[in-house]
Amino acid sequence: MRIVLLVLILAATPVFADTPRDFLNRYEKEAGAAGNPTRGGQFFVKRHGGEWSCSSCHTENPTVAGRHAKTDKPIKPLAPVANAERFTDTAKVDKWFRRNCNDVLSRECSASEKADLLAFLIGQK
């Protein structure tokens, strides 16, 4: 009986998702500096010596939907103000930063780059 009660209590306990601000705080702590939205915006549109930039797929306006540059698959808006699901799941955030940074930079993004980019995206209206 006690086990059943414990299971019911745990099942009814809300699970809180991370927020974009939680991720920003995490990257700022790792970088040892505050995210800079101006640098983040510049990073977002820059090609970094390769074929793609973040904006190649997410458009120069991250509050609107984009399309994958290679597959043409639709992509929901990247800015949290336009897509409440963005930056709320640690596994997804880590996966997509790793994959997209590799595509754009041919390496993983630094904590500072992530903080700057997230500061830019959170600042979108």
> For 61-84, how does the pLDDT look when each residue is reduced to its tens digit (9 = 90+)?
999 999 998 999 999 999 999 999
Average pLDDT for 38-66: 95
Instruction: Report all structural domains of the chain as residue ranges with CATH numbers, in order of start.
Output: 16-122 (1.10.760.10)
Count each helix (H run) and each strand (E run) in the chain, helices first: 6, 2
Mean pLDDT in the chain? 90
109 Cβ contact partners less than 8 Å away, ≥ 6 residues apart: 97, 101, 117
